[in-house]
Amino acid sequence: MDLTLNIWRQPDAVTHGALHTYQLAGISEDMSFLEMLDVLNEQLNAAGEDPVAFDSDCREGICGTCSLMINGQAHGPEVTTTCQLHMRSFKDGDTITVEPWRADAFPVLKDLVTDRSAFDRIIQSGGYISANTGSAPEANSVPAPRDKAMRAFNVATCIGCGACVAACPNGSASLFMGAKITHLGELPQGQPERYTRVVDMVAQHDAEGFGGCTNIGECTAACPKEIPLDVISQLNKDLRTAMKQGR
Ligand code: SF4
Ligand code: FES
């Protein structure tokens, strides 16, 4: 298929960017979206132009590194990661607009690459369990009810891609944070730090410049791992308990 691409080009973090238009011919519908961008970059390299900078790592939907706004939708028209989006989702002759995540807390570094280290700092503030490790414990030594174990497992699939933030009109990271808080809060090992965790993570979230949640729900619609909206209720419930405890 032949395509017209409007791609955000920005040389660095401080220079203002703009959409640039490129023509691409002979793209197979079996290519992934990132492979299509690889073809564009080969074309740009051959012409002596600067290739488009974009993030990717596993290209298997696991790491959350690939993160693009495609025609105004986080990760494009399918509920999946950008690396798992295939060109069969588009038609011959389409015009595709590709932009970086748009959120104050994710500043653009170059072209389509954003700095998402704010997520790392939220995790560092409390998204972990402090436990002496040592040898692996016997599998059944810490009993967890099946429903809680399954819920923890399901929300632990969050890959930290940031689509929830990019899709949210408020630029809130509540779905991401709710996934981490629910994951750890469902398990026995997560209880000792449960209420300091939520206070510290919310404080870091706000300090990073993420917005507040107003229950719009765009986050869960854009999430490639289908993290449900009720993790935000869990976050708020834990935060309320922590405040009652005077934390
Ligand atoms: S909650 Fe979903 S959209 Fe948000 S970072 Fe996790 S996987 Fe990505
Ligand atoms: S490159 Fe790892 S999820 Fe897309």
CATH of the domain at 203: 1.10.1060.10
Do 39 and 75 have their domain in common?
A: yes
Rounded distance from Cα 160 to ligand 1 centre (Å): 5
Helix (H, G, I), strand (E, B) or coil at 138: coil
Amino acid 21: pLDDT? 98
Do 22 and 62 have their domain in common?
A: yes
For residues 165-200, one letter each, b for 16 or more C-beta atoms within 10 angstroms of the residue's C-beta and e for the rest, the string is bbbbebbbbbbbbbbbbbbbbbbeebeebbbebbbb
Do 13 and 99 have their domain in common?
A: yes
Amino acid 178: pLDDT? 98
Q: Is the dihedral of CA 101, 163, 158, 244 positive or negative?
A: positive
Global confidence as pTM: 0.94
* Residue 223 identity: C
- Give the ligand 1 atom nearest the CA of 226: 2
Do 121 and 225 have their domain in common?
A: yes
Do 93 and 126 have their domain in common?
A: no
**Total domains in the fold of the chain:** 2
Amino acid 140: pLDDT? 77
137 is a domain residue: no
User: From the DSSP assignment, how many helices (H) and strands (E) are in the chain?
Assistant: 8, 7
Do 173 and 200 have their domain in common?
A: yes
* Whether the CB of 67 sits within 6 Å of ligand 2: no
136 is a domain residue: no
Do 29 and 78 have their domain in common?
A: yes
Rounded distance from Cα 244 to ligand 2 centre (Å): 40
Amino acid 139: pLDDT? 73
Say which ligand is closest to the CA of 118: 1
Rounded distance from Cα 218 to ligand 2 centre (Å): 21
- Boundaries of domain holding 156: 116-131+142-244
Do 99 and 124 have their domain in common?
A: no
175 Cα distance to chain centroid: 10
CATH number at residue 65: 3.10.20.30
Do 87 and 125 have their domain in common?
A: no
Do 187 and 122 have their domain in common?
A: yes
Per DSSP, 59 falls in state: S
Amino acid 221: pLDDT? 97
Per DSSP, 128 falls in state: S
Would you write out the chain's pLDDT as a tens digit for each of its 247 residues?
999 999 999 999 999 999 999 999 999 999 999 999 999 999 999 999 999 999 999 999 999 999 999 999 999 999 999 999 999 999 999 999 999 999 999 999 999 999 999 999 999 999 998 877 678 777 777 788 999 999 999 999 999 999 999 999 999 999 999 999 999 999 988 999 999 999 999 999 999 999 999 999 999 999 999 999 999 999 999 999 999 998 8
* Residue 161 identity: C
Do 35 and 65 have their domain in common?
A: yes
